[in-house]
Chains A and B, each alone.
Chain A
């Protein structure tokens, strides 16, 4: 997966403006059609304006659908923003990634254990150097464990966000609009 939150955010403001414009344009069009319904009346006009009214309801539904999609994008932005701006990660490799940290940590444990097995009673200088190395290795291990926790938390957070977005998306159903035969209005 690859996500660029900053670019999404820029586009999101444009999207809000354009959906508002769409809503205004549709309102203008149907207000105009409503107005002209008072300026033309015959059999065809009655059929036509009845159809226009049902169209208006369906088109308003399109606006609602656009708003729902806009809310999904806003939700993506706000949730990801709390953890970063750009993401490029393969969630399917999550366990492999975490195992790499474990392998590194295990290797350090092994090395420390080898150091512990050494009999250094006869050479205090070397013993000091080895102890310093041991401390350094323990510090590195600490950092690895902390990094692993951070990576694990981030990956779990990403999984949680995606699950949440998926739930929102599954509730969106875009209703089709059919073009009617206009010959009956002419």
Chain B
């Protein structure tokens, strides 16, 4: 049987760490994008155009990756909020009983 639980403190720490990865490093995707764009400017050939098309596809993927990462943080935050709200509600119910 699976027991339901949440370690509030650890989940909060994880959210902080994940947010730091997003805001501080931006997954490094912006840097990669800029470097590859610069490289394509110095490789103007038919294959360079193909590389640019691949880079455009990759850029779209990068945007999704960032959004996915933000989604993961949102899921953790919302569930943490729900957990805290439920815990407080239950505590208040007990307070009312006593």
**Chain A residues near B (Cβ < 8 Å):** 1-4, 7-8, 11-12, 14-15, 18-19, 21-22, 25-26, 28-29, 32-33, 35-36, 39-46, 48, 52, 55, 59, 62, 65-66, 69, 72-73, 76, 162, 165-166, 169, 172, 174, 176-180, 182, 185-186
State whether B14 touches A35 (Cβ < 8 A): yes
- Say if the beta carbon of B36 comes within 8 Å of chain A: yes
Contact of A25 among B28, B42, B43, B78 (CB under 8 A): B28
In the assembled complex, which residues on chain B have CB atoms less than 8 Å from the CB atom of A33? 14, 18, 72
- In the complex, the answer to whether A1 meets B45 with C-beta atoms within 8 Å is yes
Closest chain A residue, CB of each to CB of B31: A18
Q: Cβ of A4: which chain B residues have Cβ within 8 Å of it? A: 42-43
CA distance A175 to B7 in the complex (A): 36
Closest chain B residue, CB of each to CB of A72: B51
Q: With A3-B45, A40-B79, A165-B47 known to touch, is A22 a contact of B36 (CB < 8 Å)?
A: no
- Residues of B bordering A, CB below 8 Å: 2-7, 10-11, 14, 17-18, 21, 25, 27-29, 31-32, 35-36, 38-39, 42-48, 50-51, 54-55, 57-58, 60-61, 64-65, 67-69, 71-72, 74-76, 78-79, 82
| Residues in B neighbouring A12, C-beta threshold 8 A | 39
Residues of the B chain whose Cβ atoms lie less than 8 Å from the Cβ of A44 = 75, 79
A29 and B60 alpha carbons, distance in the complex (Å): 20
Residue of B nearest to A35 (CB): B14
- Pair A186/B18 contact, Cβ less than 8 Å: no
> Which residues of B sit under 8 angstroms from A179, Cβ to Cβ?
64, 67-68, 71
Given contacts A39-B6, A40-B6, A40-B11, whether A2 and B44 have CB atoms under 8 Å apart is yes
User: A36–B68 contact, CB under 8 A?
Assistant: no
On chain A, the residues within 8 Å of B32 by CB distance are 15, 18-19, 22, 66
When distances are taken between beta carbons in the complex, the residues of chain B under 8 Å from A14 are: 31, 35
- Pair B72/A7 contact, Cβ less than 8 Å: no
The 28 sampled A-B contact pairs (Cβ below 8 Å) are A8-B39, A8-B42, A15-B32, A28-B21, A32-B14, A33-B72, A36-B76, A40-B5, A41-B2, A41-B3, A41-B6, A44-B75, A44-B79, A45-B79, A46-B2, A48-B75, A65-B58, A66-B58, A69-B58, A72-B51, A76-B43, A162-B47, A169-B47, A174-B54, A177-B68, A178-B64, A182-B75, A186-B79
- Contact partner of A166 (CB less than 8 A), chosen from B42, B43, B50, is B50
Instruction: Kindly provide the distance from the CB of B73 to the nearest chain A CB, expressed in whole angstroms.
Output: 10
Kindly identify which residue among A18, A36, A185, A186 contacts B28, using a CB–CB cutoff of 8 Å: A18
